[in-house]
Amino acid sequence: MIKPGKRDEFLSVVIPAYNESARIIPTIRRIDQYCNDRLKRFEIIVVNDGSKDNTRDLVRTEKNRTASLRYEEYEKNRGKGYAIRGGVSVSAGDIILVSDADLSTPIEEIEKLLVPYDQGYDVVIGSRALKESDIAVRQPWWRELMGKTFNVFVRLLFSVDFKDTQCGFKLFRGDTGRKIFRTALIDRFAYDVEILCLVRKAGLGIKEVPIRWLNSPASKVNPVKDSLQMFKDLIKMKLRNLVI
């Protein structure tokens, strides 16, 4: 667990952002305050995934206030996986934390992920599906059904035993994360499955841990378009023989 005495490792927090003007600044400031209290060195990397709102202007202005903030951007929306891949590639941390812009998993939950990390695991993933998970605000029933159905297909196609591959709160040993993400190809929401398969194929240790989670009503997931794309990406991964 992180102690007030401040942890020595350099932490990189990577946040993909697409049309996040309503919540990106409170998220940055909350993470910055939390890390300032507990870490000697850290950076917050926001990757603007071709937002159409004023996310760009807000984050650029915030850089003048928040010394830990780094900003990456590109014009065309490429997808969550592409954005995270870019953020990880420029990270400098001994530890990399990937977090959603809505902080549906509160930043404080990193303490739960750091316990297995300190035990030697290379990758630690937050999970909403373990019996110990604390789901403070649930998703709509149809979102939960979509998630469970997707997980069934993932288990059948790739023989993984993770109960929740899609939680946006994941921690990587720095060098491991940068190496794995360099070989990844999936640009959109199914990127999580690809990353976990690549980690397993490399023989690295992964631990799934229960986290506190609060559903955000402003989800960027399109239930039809994105679901179809995710299943297409699963087929692509299967054809690439990403079976564990």
| Confidence band for 220, pLDDT divided at 50, 70 and 90 | low
Predicted TM-score of the model (pTM)? 0.90
What is the reported pLDDT for 244? 44
Residue 159 forms part of a structural domain: yes
- For residue 244, is it within any domain? no
Percent over 70 (pLDDT), the chain:
92
pLDDT of residue 225: 77
> Has residue 73 been placed in a domain?
yes
Phi-psi region of 3 (alpha: psi -120 to 50; beta: other; left: phi over 0): beta
Does residue 53 lie in a domain region?
A: yes
In a domain, 2, yes or no: no
- What pLDDT, on the 0 to 100 scale, is given for residue 242? 60
Is 1 contained in some domain?
A: no
Structure tokens of 67? 């010394």
Per the prediction, the chain carries an average pLDDT of 90
48 vs 146 pLDDT, higher one: 48
What tens digit of pLDDT does each residue of 89-137 get? 999 999 999 999 999 999 999 999 999 999 999 999 999 999 999 987 7
Query: Is 17 domain-assigned?
Result: yes
Q: Is 172 helix (H, G, I), strand (E, B) or coil?
A: strand
Helices (H), 135-224: 141-158, 174-182, 191-201
What digits encode the pLDDT tens for the residues 128-142?
999 999 987 776 766
- Give 128's contacts (C-beta < 8 A, 6+ positions apart): 135, 164, 167, 211, 213
**Looking at the 3D structure of the chain, how many domains does it have?**
1
Nearest one of 108, 117, 104, 100 to 34, comparing CA atoms? 108
In a domain, 126, yes or no: yes
Print the domain residue range for 47: 7-239
Residue 55 confidence (pLDDT) above 90 = yes
Q: What is the pLDDT of residues 6-21, one digit of tens each?
A: 899 999 999 999 999 9
**Residue 14 maps to which CATH number?**
3.90.550.10
